Structure 1
Amino acid sequence: MKSSSDRLSTLLSLKKKKLDKAINALSEKKAGLEIGIKKLDEKKEEQRRVTNELRGSDLTDQGDDVLILYGRYLSRVRKELTQLSREVTGLQEHVEQAMNEVKAAFGIHGSVELLRDQRVEREIKEQVLEEQRQIDGDSCQRFSGRNASRDIF
């Protein structure tokens, strides 16, 4: 028959696995967030480069077609920046949620560990008390046996 500390140890190992799983999910989401931020920075740099290129060149003699192309290109880059910004915001929310899950799992893990340690300590005390009772019982039997043998003679 399993003692309550054995059951708590089993529960603790399950909570430890859940904590590890939450930590792994958090690290994966953080990696995805870092990739998203890197893409966003690259797009911003591309937009700066094209804008500076457009400002630095004299396109008045090349016609409206070139200006329209640059305008369309910049519009597409802005849309991509907006989309990447939304993705990064969503990833940040996922990371925050994963961090909360890790905190919750860590708290539960700590509580179960503390409870298990208390139960183990209590079981050890109960075992020591039981051994003391047995020793006291044996001593009483020996003492009463000695007294009984004296009464007979």
Structure 2
Amino acid sequence: MNNPDELTARTTKVEERVRTGLPPRSVVSVTGLHLRSQEQAALERGVYTRLPMFTRITPDGVEWSDGHAEHVDAILWATGFRADLAHLAPLHLREPSGGIRMNGTATVLDPRIHLVGYGPSASTIGANRAGFTAARSLRNLLKPLAA
């Protein structure tokens, strides 16, 4: 599918779900995108193996509940295609239907929280646009605090 209008229309379907508070579906599941040969090879090598969410951030990395630790230099908190947002439960952002109501990348219940990678921004097309939009929104939100 190389038609940008068709891809945008399918991405919009995901956006409609999160606007109403429903859990998002993968953009890939509604676009029909498939892994390229090099990505398929990486999948077969185990590169895309998902680890569970770590339970602690340590001075030099992260640690899991079983004691396994990894050194990390930086943490980029991206929700990804299968958003693991359990750590946000204390913020009570979820709707009774299970999703998080969104306005662009910002959560409706707390516009300071942007979930880039949740809903329609969980795609290679949506991520660039969403990251840029989130960064500008947060800059504008924080600008009065810096004055």
User: TM-score, length-normalised on structure 1?
Assistant: 0.21
The answer to which structure, 1 or 2, has the higher relative contact order (CA under 8 A, 6+ apart) is: 1
Structure ranking higher in helix proportion: 1
Larger CA Rg, structure 1 vs 2: 1
TM-score (norm 2): 0.22
Structure with greater strand percent:
2
